[in-house]
Amino acid sequence: MKNNTVAVFTSGGDAPGMNACIKGIVDYAFKNDMKILAIRSGYKGLIAEDFIELTPEMVKDNMHRAGTFIKTSRYHDFFKPEIQKKAVEILKNHNINYLIGIGGDGTYRGLIELKKLGINVIGIPGTIDNDINYSETSLGFDTAYNAATENIKAASESMRSFDRVFVAEVMGRHSGNIALNVAIASGADIVAVPEKPITADNICKKVNAVKAKGNNSPVIIVHDYYPYYDELLNKLRNVCKLEARSQIIGFVQRGASPTAYDTILGWSYGIHAIELCLKNKFGIAIGTQNNRIFDCDIEKSLTYPSNFDIDLYNKFDI
């Protein structure tokens, strides 16, 4: 007879490091004689009762694999109170003592509602966007911006050979963390982030200023919710009369093999989640502060101000 039952699920956009995190959870829980269930496909799978028992054998190759082998989904119906009530019944019927959710802010909002309904929840930040503000970093962010940087550096070499202007779109949704890091690391010239909105006309002015300094291949990084993407390309080509090329970096950022940093972080978060269960601690969001793992009250976790590094942005923009 096992001691306790822990259920784990991933929800929202998959993030490199999630699989390493699940491995940390499974290996450490197994060692402590706990039963581990995976809820497949996030909140959608919870309502469909799509559960499987996990063993160390099933996670042995997890460390270096991107994505989430227990699947994920975006399930907006979970915000309906009657669906949440059903989720609680299901969790109780399966005798689940602790529920660990790995994901972004939508995942956390669901966990907070379940906590209010009496479920022992633990949240782990897993989103390439790095927009879970209480934590310095979330699983997948390091991998995503490194993967995007490598792609953009390679494309920029080709642009330089033709004296072309290059516009690259990276992910990040409402956060400019990926865009800013990529812009700096790839040696780009201009960046558009949601925290500092910029018009297509103002980017064109910056492009002309960069060219006036002798750089004939300005590189512009924009986030994927930049509203003037098409207008920008049109103006660069038809008003500024420049040869411009564009590329949406896309899912190679999210599906890249996790960096060693994200692998170790995910695995450590997973082990720490089980440490909390063993101490019967819950209602906690695990995160990173000063490069160390720390615990935050899950209900407070979504109330922190933006973690976008405005000082870094100002340095880039000098």
Please select the residue that binds ligand F6P; options are 188, 254, 262, 313, rule is CB under 6 A.
254
Residue span binding ligand F6P (CB under 6 A) among the ranges 55-63, 165-173, 270-278, 282-290:
165-173
Beta strands in the chain (DSSP E): 5-10, 35-39, 51-53, 98-103, 121-125, 165-170, 190-192, 219-223, 244-248, 284-289, 292-297
Please select the residue that binds ligand F6P; options are 42, 172, 194, 287, rule is CB under 6 A.
172
Whether 129 is catalytic? yes
Size of the site for ligand F6P (CB under 6 A): 10
Q: Does 271 bind ligand F6P (CB under 6 A)?
A: no
Q: Does 109 bind ligand F6P (CB under 6 A)?
A: no
The string of DSSP codes covering 141-188 is: HHHHHHHHHHHHHHHHHHHHHHT-EEEEEE--TT--HHHHHHHHHTT-
Q: Are 129 and 141 in contact (CB under 8 A)?
A: yes
Please select the residue that binds ligand F6P; options are 127, 130, 138, 217, rule is CB under 6 A.
127
Q: Does 171 bind ligand F6P (CB under 6 A)?
A: yes
Q: What is the 3-state secondary structure (H, E, C) of 271-315?
A: HHHHHHHHCCCCCEEEEEECCEEEEEEHHHHCCCCCCCCHHHHHH
Structure tokens given for 217: 């291949």
Residue span binding ligand F6P (CB under 6 A) among the ranges 23-31, 169-177, 240-248, 301-309:
169-177
Residue span binding ligand F6P (CB under 6 A) among the ranges 48-56, 127-135, 241-249, 301-309:
127-135
Question: Which one of the listed residues 14, 27, 129, 189 is annotated catalytic?
Answer: 129
Q: Does 123 bind ligand F6P (CB under 6 A)?
A: no
Residues that bind ligand F6P (CB under 6 A): 13, 104, 127-129, 171-173, 224, 254
